[in-house]
Amino acid sequence: MSEGILVFIEQRDGALNKTSLEAIVAAQRIAASTGDKVSAIVLGNGIANVASEVAAKKLEKVYTLEDDRLNEYTPDGYVGALKQAIEKLSPRFVILSHTYQVRDFAPRLTTALGKTFVTDCIAVRVDGSDVVFTRQIFQGKINTDVRVSAESPVFASFQSGSYRADLAEAGAAAVEPLAVDMSGVTIRTETEPKFQEAKQAVDLTQAPLIVAVGRGIKSQDNLPVVQALADALGAEIAASRPICDNEWLPMDRQIGSSGQTVAPKLYLAVGISGAIQHVVGMKNAQTIVAINKDAEAPIFDIADYGIVGDLFEIVPALTEEIKKAKG
Amino acid sequence: MKICVCLKQVPKKDSILRIAQDQKWIDERDISYEMSEADAYALEEALRQKEAHGGEVIVISMGPERTRQSIKEALAKGADRAIHLDDPIFEQATDAAGIGRAIAAALKDEGCDLIMTGLQSDDHGFGQVGLIIAERLGMSSATIVMEVQIETGSVRVKRELESGWFQWVRVPTPAVLTIQSGINQLRYATLKGIMSAKKKELREVKAADLNLTADDLKPLQSIERAYVPEKSKQTEFIEGKPAEIAARLVEKLRFDARVF
Ligand SMILES: Cc1cc2nc3c(=O)[nH]c(=O)nc-3n(C[C@H](O)[C@H](O)[C@H](O)COP(=O)(O)OP(=O)(O)OC[C@H]3O[C@@H](n4cnc5c(N)ncnc54)[C@H](O)[C@@H]3O)c2cc1C
């Protein structure tokens, strides 16, 4: 008989990934309706600090799983260890945060266990005996409520920012080592040290004004339209990922989860749809202006000022007006 | 080197998406389709590796009749042959587990050295199918890949991690790699490519060919309701002719937001 909710805690070099606390909040929300007890599990070596940090939350237990084969994250190591842990603990739900690491192993784990996995959720609610997850499709343009008809454990991962980490209820959980047999687990991945690309030439984090351009610009030849606006404003130019993927602007001007995170006084988004991976990099800007021809574009969800229209008409007019205003 | 690329056809980027009558998906009338973006990069990477090391590129796609258009585009770009999983039974496989199971079954006996997929599709965005195939076929895997170096018996890849971090990892072949957008620069199909694609093998596979029934592919999770997200912020929309909009916005930026 399965019961309880197990939260996967992610750590890197002994430091807690804060999105794991958001996963705890999601689990506590489910538990508030179902009455399930929430526990957490941490894998690795030298994870005592992470375990005690997590144990300060309202949890039944914090399980630690230490083994030499888990020193460095590998998908084989994590799948091998978690598969045994989950079989042993037999929870009703396993909750994770939708990080790059989780994306790298969890679908293997759920397949090995023959279970269903609802990825990249933004909310969850309990409806009678069912749990309904909300996830976005078409890059945030449409929401869906997803119902699961599978045997437990049901796996779900939550998008970063779905729940506020500081809302995790506090408590004092017991830390309990969990023994698994890793002798049969073959690690196929050889890892090299993590690194960052050469220091960014442009530091957009210091720019007070940013004009960001997205795929709406259509071609590299049209970039001067937006550059002129940036020049008139005295702003730095930045871009969404596809613009940098196409090498229309250098990589170090990319804003988002795989680029820079900025919080300028003004962020003017031109022809950017507002996918979550972009939004995480700029949502803390003081004033956000969006110009987009699609009134339903998700960028308008976070914009202070919205202009629905063709950027090729609006941007030149705006450039002129700014020049006038600045005299 | 035998490389298989999994392609998914999705609504074009600029499509106006409307919710269908039954509120379970989008209204597919008047939608045109294209290859999902990350899959296009996966195909390009496979073609480049083949050009460098020799071998064969096979594309596989599951989807209705219209999917052929994207399959043919892949053949025109240089893929050698294609497998199309086209069967009403496959259309019931609407979750990642079912899709992954069907594709894995179709590739089981192909003996691929590498299987490449996009890191996630632009429609559902499950981000799971590649790894489900890897697990089912007992292959090693690496996800969110930004560079591929083929070695003897293994592949060394650069993985993207969060916020500007990267890591090189080596995995033994056969391996599944999920490819991130921007790994390379995409090519266009040439007229010659389009002509030669007509002669290339395009094999249609039915569920029965894989010994799969509707029951095997029954989704374990399904969309109960699709809807337009509610706005959480009060956006002030500025309307009018371009010049009027510009004047009003500049006023707002100057006096309300005080950005200049
Ligand atoms: C793991 C991962 C990491 C990622 N990291 C990042 C990241 O760091 N940064 C990032 O930006 N993305 C990132 N992405 C990609 C992200 O999901 C989106 O695909 C991307 O942000 C979309 O860029 P866009 O808005 O420019 O393009 P699109 O989504 O194609 O939007 C273009 C917009 O332009 C509008 N438009 C078109 N023509 C006009 C016109 N004439 N006038 C006005 N508007 C017009 C359209 O209505 C549309 O809204 C990542 C994705 C993944 C999976």
CATH number, residue A321: 3.40.50.1220
CA distance B66 to A243: 29
In a domain, B93, yes or no: yes
The tokens for B176 are: 């599944």
**Same-domain pairing of A182 and A210:** no
Q: How far is the CA of A281 from the centre of ligand 1 (A)?
A: 13
Residues A42 and A140 in one domain: yes
Q: What is the mean pLDDT of residues B195-220?
A: 97
| A241 C-alpha to ligand 1 centroid (Å) | 7
Contact yes or no for A118/B221 (Cβ under 8 A): yes
- C-beta of residue A165 within 8 angstroms of C-beta of residue A26: no
Give the domain range for residue A126: 5-192
Query: Quick one: pLDDT at residue B257?
Result: 86
CA of A273 to the centre of ligand 1 (A): 5
- What is this structure's pTM? 0.96
Q: How many CB pairs under 8 A join A and B?
A: 241
Q: Give the domain CATH number at A73.
A: 3.40.50.620
What confidence tier does B22 reach under pLDDT thresholds 50, 70, 90? very high
Give the integer Cα–Cα distance in Å for B96 and B101.
Answer: 8
Q: Is A312 in the pocket of ligand 1 (CB under 6 A)?
A: yes
Q: Is residue B142 a part of any domain in this protein?
A: yes
Domain boundary among A192, A227, A257: A192
CB proximity A161 to B under 8 Å: no
- The token pair at B220 is 């374990």
| Residue B26, domain CATH | 3.40.50.620
Residue B254 falls within a domain, yes or no?
A: no
Position B139, amino acid: M
Q: What's the average model confidence in pLDDT over B85-114? A: 97
Our count of domains for chain B comes to: 1
Question: Is the distance from the beta carbon of residue A43 to the nearest atom of ligand 1 less than 6 Å?
Answer: no
Residue B180 counted as domain residue: yes
Does B181 reside within a domain? yes
Contact list in B for residue A149 (CB cut-off 8 A) is: 220-222
How many domains does one find in chain A? 2
Question: Rounded to whole angstroms, how far apart are CA atoms B167 and A192?
Answer: 6
In DSSP terms, B205 is beta-bridged to: B85
Write out the two tokens for A310: 């063709």
CB B133 within 8 A of CB A164: no
Q: Say if the Cβ atoms of B163 and A257 lie within 8 Å.
A: yes
Give just the sign of the alpha carbon dihedral B16, B19, B24, B30. Answer: negative
Looking at CA atoms only, how far is residue B75 from chain A in angstroms? 23
Q: Of A12, A125, A138, A192, which to mutate for an interface test with B (greatest number of B Cβ within 10 Å)?
A: A138
Q: Are B147 and B157 in contact (CB under 8 A)?
A: yes
Q: Same domain for A243 and A282?
A: yes
User: Looking at the partner chain, which of B164, B233, B260 has a beta carbon nearest the beta carbon of A196?
Assistant: B164
- Position A198 scores a pLDDT of 66
Please name the residue ranges forming H helices in B64-201. 68-77, 88-91, 96-107, 129-137, 191-197
Whether residues A155 and A18 share a domain: the answer is yes
Clarify whether residues A204 and A309 are in a common domain.
yes
Q: Tell me whether residues B26 and A142 touch, CB distance under 8 A.
A: yes
Rounded to an integer, the average pLDDT of B89-112 is 97
pLDDT tens-digit readout, B208-224: 999 999 999 999 999 99
- A251 vs A103, A236, B144, B164, B247, CA distance in Å? 23, 14, 17, 10, 33
In this predicted complex, what is the ipTM? 0.96
A159 with A204, same domain?
no
Tell whether B13 is covered by a domain.
yes
The pLDDT of residue B260 is 79
Q: What is the pLDDT of residue A297?
A: 95
- Domain boundary among the residues A161, A192, A223 is at A192
Q: Do both A52 and A134 map to the same domain? A: yes
Q: Which residues contact B234 (CB under 8 A, 6 or more apart)?
A: none
Indicate whether residue A91 lines ligand 1 (CB < 6 A). Answer: no
Residues within 8 A of B (CB atoms), A 223-282 only? 233-234, 241-242, 244-247, 257-261, 265-266
B119 lines ligand 1 (CB under 6 A): yes
Look up residue B65 and give its amino acid: E
Boundary-marking domain end, from A138, A168, A192: A192
Domain shared by A44 and A184, yes or no = yes
Per the structure, the complete domain to which residue B170 belongs is given by: 2-210
Note the pLDDT of residue B97: 97
pLDDT(B232) > 80: no
Residues of A in contact with B123 (CB under 8 A): 137-138
Span from the CA of A139 to the centroid of ligand 1 (angstroms): 9
Contact of A119 with chain B, judged by CB distance below 8 Å, is answered with: yes
Asked if A254 and A128 sit in the same domain, the reply is: no
My answer on whether A186 and A202 are in the same domain is: no
Task: From the CA of A291, give the closest atom in ligand 1.
Answer: 43
In a domain, B223, yes or no: no
Q: What is the pLDDT along chain A (327 residues), one digit of tens a residue?
A: 578 999 999 999 899 999 999 999 999 999 999 999 999 999 999 999 999 999 999 999 999 999 999 999 999 999 999 999 999 999 999 999 999 999 999 999 999 999 999 999 999 999 888 899 999 999 999 999 999 988 899 999 999 999 999 999 999 999 999 999 999 999 999 999 999 886 667 889 999 999 999 999 999 999 999 999 999 999 999 999 999 999 999 999 999 999 999 999 999 999 999 999 999 999 999 999 999 999 999 999 999 999 999 999 999 999 999 999 987
